[in-house]
Amino acid sequence: MDYVTRVHAGHDAGLQRAFDAPTAFGMPAIQLGASEARLLELLVKLTGARRIVEIGTLAGYSALRMARAMPEGGRLWTLESEPAHAEVARANIEAAGLSACIEVLVGPALVTLDRLVEHGPFDLVFLDADKSGYASYGRWAQAHLRPGGLLVADNAYLFGRLLADEPTAREVRAFHEETALRFDSVCVPTPDGLVVGIRR
Ligand code: SAH
Ligand code: MG
């Protein structure tokens, strides 16, 4: 970890375990960087978000970052399509002592999102799963965030392919354009772009 990351966004044992888990368990190591995840943590703290939805759990690293910033009584639902990832995430969440406030739902997000509607409206929705779903996930967020709620989306540059003539790139561009219409939004120039929007 480089100097500024270590100084501002360092890991306790629980965060380090979740950060290391993808490599340790042969999963893709595509978790947020420590500084991006710390920014998400600070956004939760700043807004007092207490009902959070995450799409794309992996090993639970970003979920732990957000959950530990929630006020007392906060709840986070995180959606993961790969049962093996969900199992690793649950163990990390348990080890960090946060299983009372984080629920991992297994299945394709388009299916599991339906089951969350009754718990809304939500204060924050974080997108970090399959990019072909971003336009749909963005519409779901628009419908189920409270006014003033936050939409955050990673990989907004689509690994450098955002302007390509291919279906996923068209989906992510639709996500950008619809988000800009319905949210006060910005794409923060992180390594792969991070959209932050406030629902109007
Ligand atoms: N937010 C995590 C990283 C998520 S990586 C972190 O920063 O720690 C993306 C995850 O999305 C992977 O685990 C992948 O299995 C999952 N995923 C892919 N398609 C999905 C879908 N349709 N529904 C739910 N999860 C999906
Ligand atoms: Mg990502």
Domains, in order of start, for the chain? 2-199 (3.40.50.150)
Say if pTM beats, i.e. exceeds, 0.95: yes
pLDDT value at position 180?
98
Dist. CA 70–CA 177, nearest whole Å = 30
Tokens of 107: 């299945």
Would the CB of 133 count as within 6 Å of ligand 1? yes
CB contact at 8 A, 56 and 128: yes
Tokens of 69: 């910033």
Q: How far is the CA of 171 from the centre of ligand 2 (A)?
A: 16
Would the CB of 80 count as within 6 Å of ligand 1? yes
Dist. CA 70–CA 18, nearest whole Å = 18
- Residue linked to tokens 């710390």: 38
* DSSP SS3 for 183: strand
Dist. CA 121–CA 100, nearest whole Å = 20
Residues of the chain with pLDDT under 70: none
pLDDT value at position 1?
74
Would the CB of 87 count as within 6 Å of ligand 1? no
Amino acid (1-letter code) at residue 91:
A
Strand 194-199 vs strand 145-154: parallel, antiparallel, or unpaired? antiparallel
Q: How far is the CA of 66 from the centre of ligand 1 (A)?
A: 16
